[in-house]
Each structure stands twice: as C-alpha cells, then as structure tokens.
Amino acid sequence: MATIPGPGAHVLVAGGGVTGPAVARALLRLGATVTVADGKPAAREKVAAEVPGITVLDLSGLGAADLAAYDLVVVAPGFRPTADVVVAAEAAGVEVIGDVELAWRIDRAGAFGAPRDWLVVTGTNGKTTTTQMLESILLHAGVRAVACGNIGRPVIDAIGDDADPRVLAVELSSFQLHWAPSVRPRAGVVLNVAEDHLDWHGSMAAYTADKARALAGELAVIGLDDPVASGLRGTVTVGFTVGEPGPGDYGVRGGVLVDGAGAPVLLADRVSPPGPAGIADALAATALAQAVGVTAARAGEALAAFRVGAHRAETVARVRGVTYIDDSKATNPHAALNSIEAHERVVWVAGGQLKGADIAPLVQRVAPRLMGAVLLGLDRDEIAGSLARHAPDVPVVRVSAGEHSRVSPVTNDASRSVGTTGASDVRVSGDADAVMAAVVAEAARIAEAAAHDGAAPVVLLAPAAASLDMFTSYGHRGDAFAASARALGDAS
C-alpha cells in the first residue's frame, strides 16, 4: 500500500476549487506542509481565507525545477494528463494523484478512523440518481452512510466526518477514476459507457478503461443492456437489465424488480424517475446495497419513497394540459436518449456544447417520438441539421440572442425567418434567461398545437449538450427552464 504524506512531507495541491480546500485540510491534519496553487487570483484568495496554515501560489509557470521541491502533487479532477503541472511533476519524478486516491490511501491506513466500505458508482449517465438511490437505501436500512464524490461532497471530507460513516456511496467521474489507480471498492458499478469527454481522455478506449477502474474491487456490477459496460468484468461480476434477468443477475420479471436471487424488490411502475433509465439505476443501487448486507425488501421500501433530485427528469410545471420536465443534467446524447425514451410524445428542448459528440444516432432513434424541437446554444445548428436529415417532418425552431429584436420572452413576439435547414429562426434580445423564456414559449406553442384526444406531448429539456456556452451551470439552465414554464401559467 502506498504511504500517506505525514510530518515533514511537502505536498502541492493543484487547483483551489471545490476539492482543493478539502484536500489541504486533510493534509494539514496529517501533519504535512501544504501549498495550494491555482491560476486564478480569486481562487487563491478564497482558499487562503478558508484554510489557514497553507502557502498559496500562482500555478502558472511552475516548472519541473519548482515541483522537485515537493514529495507529492494532488491534482483536481479536471486536470488532464497533458496539463503543464502534471507533465512538469512527472519530469521531476514526483508522483501525481487525485483527491479520491488520497482519500483512499488515508482511509486504508486508518488515519481517520477504521476503514470504510466504499460502494462506487460510475457511468456516462445515471451516476447521480443511482448514488442518491443507494444512499437512500442504506440510510433506510439503518446503515451509517453518506453520498460523496462527484455528487458534491469531496470523499476526503466524508472520511474525516465526525459522524464517522461506515459506508460511502461514492459517485466517481472518469476524471476522478483516472487519478485514483489504487481504489478497490467493496462493490462498484459501471452503469453504461457512451461517447463523452473524449477530448480529455484522448480515445474511447482510454475513457472506458478509466470507467472500468470502478470494477477493480470485490464485486463488479455491470449494465447488461449497454454494449460497452456489458463487456466489462471484475473478479466477481453480476449484471442488471431492464428485461428478464439471467441466473444471478438483477432485472424485471412480471413487472417487478428482482434481485440476483429472484427476490422481489418493488413494482417497476413505482420507480422514480419513471422509465427504463430509472429502473436500471434502481437495480444497480440495489445490487450495491446488497453487497453490504441490505435485503431486497429494505431496498424496495427505500426506492418506493425515493424521489429524483433537481434537474434530473424533474416535473417542474403543468400548464394548459402540458407537462414540463427539466432534465438539464442530460448533458450528452446518451443521457438525452434515456430521457426522451421515457415518453411517447415529446417536444424536445436541446442544445449547448456537444463536446464533439455525434448527435445523429440519437436523432435517428427518437425521431418517431418527436412532435417538435426547440434548439438553443452553441451547437443548435448541428442539431437542426441532423433533425433535417433524419426527422424532416418534425417542426424545428432555433432561438438565439440578437441585439435588434424586440421580444417579450413569454408571449414570444419575435420576428421569424426560415433558415437553410428548414428550421424557423427566432432572435431574442436579452441574456440567457431571456433566450430560455423564448424557447419555452415556442415549445409550449408546438405542444399545445400537437395535443389530441385531450393529451399534449411533454415539453422536455434534455439538452444532449453541456451548458457553459450560455449558462453558469446545468443547474442554472434547468432553473431558467423551470421559471419560464411556471411563468406561462402566471401569464394565462
């Protein structure tokens, strides 16, 4: 087992954001001398104020000669293997790890109390919902547990908690797993693997290999319905499927979720969020919880009471017979596919930064469900082009910001033009929130016009793209969508 830094060790923490202060506090508790480096002055000021007793430096320009003075470099998850600080540290012969790896080493050494059971959740989509379900199951069963990792709370904070949780429900991204080579959880799941973050990892193979690190422990749980995840294996492997399960696997039999022994968990139509993705997440969470002794009955009780968190297939409004659903967390095509396939008739709100992902397979698959699409953001034209090729009968509106338009975002008094793809173009004066208000108004117009037999299609925000081209986060994007949908009712 790798040693942990103690008195006399000099450690550089690269990145003063969410994990930086937590890592610095843990290292100080171990007796190490800590330096935090960040390229942003505001971040340096923040971490210096939060963590007395550390040195703060500008990350820019640190070379191999500077880094040779340190015994260890701990990088924030977003640092690529090609980042200057990583390359310089390796040139100086200094080990580079992430905050999750440091937490694992501290935990295995018993430095912050007896080692915990780690239950690790990863996948391209569904990580957060599964982790939340897992925490709910564990707590309902009387287990001292906490959700941590990519879900918000750094793992290194969780292992230092005075409440001393015995089981950690750890959501890990591919970045975090890349920088955590030693982690061997009690059980880990790979829900699915689809194209995402390939600009960071360099290839699909490298991305998949980093995801597969979650399966390096005692029990590996894999999504059998996913073509990539289903091919992964651990020392002991079980799978889950939204269909009829094979021997030892988790699945759905006669409309009931069952565990690996065939014991009933709960009715499939009681799972929240509804649809195949929610059922898959519930099965994965149950499999992980059973690795630490939770019964199928207890898991079912917890799942029956579970409700999805904000921005994850959350119903935010019902106005004039139309339901508005915020799945802003669907930041890639694979996640958007799961979201759209939970509904028969959809007016799709999409767009943002596709991050190099191919949108065509998604459009081809969901085209029969689409009653319309309203697009915004950086890559709206790419999505519009794909819709024109693969779903030419679906009405499409592109909404963008324009200085010379006069528009009331709620009533959408914008002038229209028809673009080269056949999509209608609407230009809106104002910020991202104003654009979203116009988007929602357009979606409402299409949904209400498409209603028949008293049933209207849902308006679904499932962007298939990242948010930072327009919004401060996917949460901001979802909040803007929800506020605009509710405002439709206020204006009626």
- Binding site residue list for ATP: 123-129
Is residue 79 within 8 Å of residue 15, measured between CB atoms?
yes
Nearest in space to 79 (alpha carbons), one of 69, 70, 87: 87
Give the E-state strand segments of 65-175 in sequence order.
72-75, 95-98, 117-122, 145-149, 167-171
Q: What does the block give as tokens for 431?
A: 């910020």
Query: Nearest 5 degrees, angle CA 351-CA 276-CA 312?
Result: 45
| Binding residue numbers | 123-129
Query: Nearest 5 degrees, angle CA 248-CA 253-CA 257?
Result: 75
Residue listed under structure tokens 């030419």: 392
Q: Taking phi first (over 0 means left), then psi (-120 to 50 degrees means alpha), and beta for anything else, what does residue 289 get?
A: alpha
Residue listed under structure tokens 């409004």: 317
Quick one: CA dihedral 409, 411, 415, 418, positive or negative? positive
d(C-alpha 2, C-alpha 11), whole Å: 15
Q: What does the block give as tokens for 142?
A: 């009387």
d(C-alpha 136, C-alpha 134), whole Å: 5
* DSSP 8-state class, residue 182: T
- b/e string for 304-325 if b means 16 or more Cβ within 10 A? eebebeebbbbebbebeebbbb
Question: What residues contact 34, with CB distance under 8 A and at least 6 apart?
Answer: 11, 13, 24, 27, 28, 51, 53, 54, 55
Query: Nearest 5 degrees, angle CA 383-CA 385-CA 391?
Result: 90
Quick one: CA dihedral 165, 166, 169, 174, positive or negative? positive
